[in-house]
Structure formats: C-alpha cells, structure tokens
A = this chain, B = another copy of it.
Amino acid sequence: MKKETIKASPLFENLSEQDYANLAAIAHIKSYKRGEMIFAEGDEGTGFYIVGQGKVKIFKLSPEGKEQILHIFSAGEPFGEVPVFSGHCYPAYAEALAKAEMLYFPRAEFISLIKNEPSLALNMLSVLSLRLKRFTGLIENLSLKEVPGRLAAYLLYVSTANNDTDDVVLDISKGQLASILGTIPETLSRILTRMTKEGIIENEGKRLYHITNRDYL
C-alpha cells in the first residue's frame, strides 16, 4: 500500500527498487477526515507529505478570516516540503478537503536518503522549481490581472488540462474557486453572470460551464 503510493508519485520517478523500499521503510501512513487540519502556518515542520487519496488544500489566512488558496493537491502530489530544507516552520495552512490518506516522510530520515541518492535530490529540485514557477504565475495573476482575467486564465487552464474541450467542469465549490482567484464569492458570482450575458460562457449545469467565445478569454 505504501509502495503503490510512492511509485505513483512524480517525485519518486526513475528510482531503483531499493530506493522504493527505503522510502517505504521511512514513510508513515496518516489519515484525516474532511475538514481536518493537517498542519497550521507556523507549526514546526518535521517532515513532508504525499497525498495518497483525497484532496488537500494549502492556504493562507488573513487576520479577518479571508483565505487565499495556494494549491489544491490530489493523489501523488507532495506538499509541506519547505521546512524540510529550510529548517523552519510551515509557511501556510494545510487542510483535508475530503477524507484523505497521506504518507508522511520524516525530515531527518528523508535527508539521509537524499544524500545517498542524487536522483532523488534532483527530483525534489524539479518539484520545487515547478512550484516556484506556479507561484510566479499566481503572483502575476493577483498583481497584474483583474478578477475577470484571473477567472479567464483559470477556465482556460482547466480546459487545456482536459484536452482543450470547451466544456469546463469545476471540481470545487464556487467559494473555493473564489479563494483560488483571490476574491470573494459575491464578486465571482457577478463576473460569472456578466460573462454569461456577454456570451463568453454558458452555464450548463451546477458545476459545468461551456466556453462559447474562447478568443475573448
């Protein structure tokens, strides 16, 4: 069970059987139920996680309670690595969005493995680089685009992830989507209806939209 999750993760691509065994040996299984907090911003980080099943939301919280989602991770994706290498606290909150099962890798053991297996280090470097790249995209959106532009980018992103179909399925609630886009549900709702009136998108069901005017987005 541990090994399947490990082998399914991009982080552990191209490793030897021995490496998989070593990783499995240091991994702990942890389970969380919907809404349960995995770690809080500022908690001391003694290891990182890989999602086995379920979904995990990584987010920042303002003093007034507004949240900004940084990522939503699904099966195979690692999270919480920052404090493993920078030696400090988690920089954001993590919460299970659904009943979830995780593999937990303690810091010290994992670092020992890395020291003997450069491929593992390179994989991890690749994961962090990709994440950095995603963050620059998020920063660009937040800073340089208004909410309609961010929504457009998101719709196109989901569409291309689904082989460029014009039907977009939102697998999260609109409230969560608002938080991903850095806004509030009311604003998102207004923009969705405005785009519909302008013939850019069509609502085809609860969480299903159809892109009518792709060029505009």
| Segment touching B, from A23-31, A111-119, A153-161, A185-193 | A111-119
Q: Tell me if A60 and B122 are in contact (CB < 8 A).
A: no
Residue count of chain A within 8 Å CB distance of chain B: 43
Assembled-state Cα–Cα distance A68/B66 (Å): 23
Q: Tell me if B118 and A115 are in contact (CB < 8 A).
A: yes
For A66, what are the chain B residues with a Cβ–Cβ distance below 8 Å?
A: 144
| Segment touching B, from A14-22, A49-57, A82-90, A205-213 | A82-90
Question: Could you tell me which residues of chain A, from 104 to 130, have a CB within 8 Å of some CB in chain B?
Answer: 111, 114-116, 118, 121-122, 124-126, 128-130
How many copies make up the complex? Answer: 2
Question: Could you tell me which residues of chain A, from 175 to 216, have a CB within 8 Å of some CB in chain B?
Answer: 182
| Segment touching B, from A1-9, A95-103, A135-143 | A135-143
Q: Tell me if B130 and A135 are in contact (CB < 8 A).
A: no
A binding-site residues for B, Cβ under 8 Å: 60-62, 66, 68, 70, 81-88, 91-92, 111, 114-116, 118, 121-122, 124-126, 128-133, 135-140, 142-145, 182
